[in-house]
């Protein structure tokens, strides 16, 4: 049996204003945006406005995904639309540094963010949206324990193609720290 290859160690940390140039470069990369959002290039002002809004949000928490050994920021992840009464939130993740794709970093960041949501925020449910064509992300979410809950037919128009959007969710009692 082959030995399991572990992803490089990462940590989730708060975002700072010093991260903005790199984050802008990630968002302005059409290939990095292909699987997570409509490509919409942004400038310094839009980036600053975004940073100010997420810094003040009471219903969202944003993290930078950082490589432990190099302290390189490689992406972001967040829990948004936090409903403090119903104890639920939407998970989002984006690896903007293409050199780390396929190394298990997205899976590890998702696991850490889910743990934060269930343990530190005391959430009951975490859900997400993913393009039906993004099989790599779907596999990642299934590996972490997310269940398929629905399909929004032709709910997104990405790169000239109407895309179905899958809804996936994870309940606290389905989550396992052993995953």
| pLDDT tens sequence across 118-131 | 999 999 999 999 99
**pLDDT more than 90, % of the chain:** 66
In a domain, 4, yes or no: no
| Residues whose CB falls within 8 Å of the CB of residue 145, separated by 6 or more in sequence, listed in order | 114, 170, 174, 175, 176, 179
Residues forming beta bridges with residue 129, ordered by sequence position: 167
Note down the domain range covering 100: 10-174
State pLDDT tens for residues 133-176. 999 999 999 999 999 999 999 998 887 889 999 999 999 999 97
The answer to whether residue 1 is domain-embedded is: no
Instruction: Kindly state whether residue 65 falls inside one of the protein's structural domains.
Output: yes
CATH code of the domain containing 38: 3.40.630.30
User: What pLDDT does 96 receive?
Assistant: 87
Does residue 32 fall inside a structural domain?
yes
For residue 32 the two structure tokens come to 């990095």
Confirm whether 3 is domain-assigned.
no
The predicted pLDDT at position 62 comes to 95
Res 117: pLDDT: 98
If one counts the domains in the chain, the total is: 1
């Amino acid at each position: 049996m082959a030995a399991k290859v572990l992803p490089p160690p990462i940590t989730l940390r708060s975002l700072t204003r010093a991260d903005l140039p790199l984050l802008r470069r990630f968002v302005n990369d059409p290939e990095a945006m292909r699987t997570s959002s409509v490509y919409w290039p942004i400038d310094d002002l839009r980036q600053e406005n975004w940073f100010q809004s997420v810094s003040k949000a009471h219903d969202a928490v944003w993290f930078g995904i950082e490589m432990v050994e190099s302290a390189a920021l490689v992406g972001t992840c967040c829990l948004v639309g936090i409903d403090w009464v119903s104890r639920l939130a939407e998970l989002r993740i984006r690896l903007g540094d293409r050199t780390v794709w396929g190394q298990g970093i997205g899976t590890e960041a998702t696991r850490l963010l889910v743990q934060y949501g269930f343990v530190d925020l005391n959430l009951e449910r975490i859900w997400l949206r993913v393009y039906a064509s993004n099989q790599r992300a779907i596999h990642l979410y299934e590996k972490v324990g997310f269940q398929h809950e629905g399909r929004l037919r032709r709910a997104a128009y990405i790169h000239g193609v109407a895309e179905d959007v899958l809804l996936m969710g994870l309940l606290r009692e389905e989550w396992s720290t052993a995953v």
